[in-house]
């Protein structure tokens, strides 16, 4: 189930964020796994957080609570101004590249989820990843669809 949720979240990001970037001639690597060695200047990866479950949200039929997933955006700093502009656009909830809006755009994830929500208190702010990338993370809560 978790693998399907990660795959569907990545697909939503490919469509909602990767699509507009592609239209502007910018390639993005968007994966449902941790990307250790990015191949593109813009990278979004989706992976289980630590801890990967939020038991405070547990309910009847879902004893373990929500899955907790990290969505991480990174951009290279070699083209400093353009990369930072893209990152700021991904952070901006009102922009077409908004990662938070994209994540919450499909609350069912093709039937694998009952709810998808970005934790509003979890945004990391800008982080440095080595000497060549900057980025940020969002904590996403996903209620798994129990059949």
Residue 122 pLDDT: 82
- Residue 70, domain extent: 2-144
pLDDT by residue, tens only, the chain of 147 residues: 899 999 999 999 999 999 999 999 999 999 999 999 888 889 999 999 876 665 565 454 555 678 999 999 999 877 667 888 999 999 999 999 999 999 999 999 999 999 999 988 888 877 777 778 889 999 999 998 876
What is the total count of domains within the chain?
1
The CATH code of the domain that includes 46 is: 3.30.70
Spatial separation of the C-alpha atoms in residues 23 and 25, rounded to whole Å: 5
Spatial separation of the C-alpha atoms in residues 90 and 136, rounded to whole Å: 10
Residue 90 pLDDT: 93
Residue 54 pLDDT: 59
The 3-class secondary structure across 75-138, one letter per residue, is: EECCCHHHHHHHHHHHHCCCCCCCHHHHHCCCCCHHHCEEEEEECCCCCCCCEEECCCEEEEEE
């Amino acid at each position: 189930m978790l693998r399907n949720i990660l795959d569907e979240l990545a697909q939503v990001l490919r469509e909602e964020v990767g699509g507009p970037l592609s239209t502007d001639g910018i390639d993005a690597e968007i994966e449902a796994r941790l990307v250790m060695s990015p191949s593109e200047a813009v990278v979004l990866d989706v992976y289980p957080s630590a801890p990967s479950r939020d038991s405070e949200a547990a309910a009847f039929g879902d004893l373990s609570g929500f899955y907790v997933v990290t969505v991480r955006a990174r951009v290279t700093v070699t083209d400093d101004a353009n990369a930072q502009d893209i990152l700021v656009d991904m952070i901006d909830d009102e922009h077409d590249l908004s990662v938070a809006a994209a994540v919450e755009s499909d609350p069912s994830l093709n039937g694998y989820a009952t709810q998808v929500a970005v934790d509003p208190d979890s945004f990391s702010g800008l982080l440095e990843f080595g000497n060549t990338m900057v980025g940020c993370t969002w904590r996403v809560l996903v209620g798994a669809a129990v059949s």
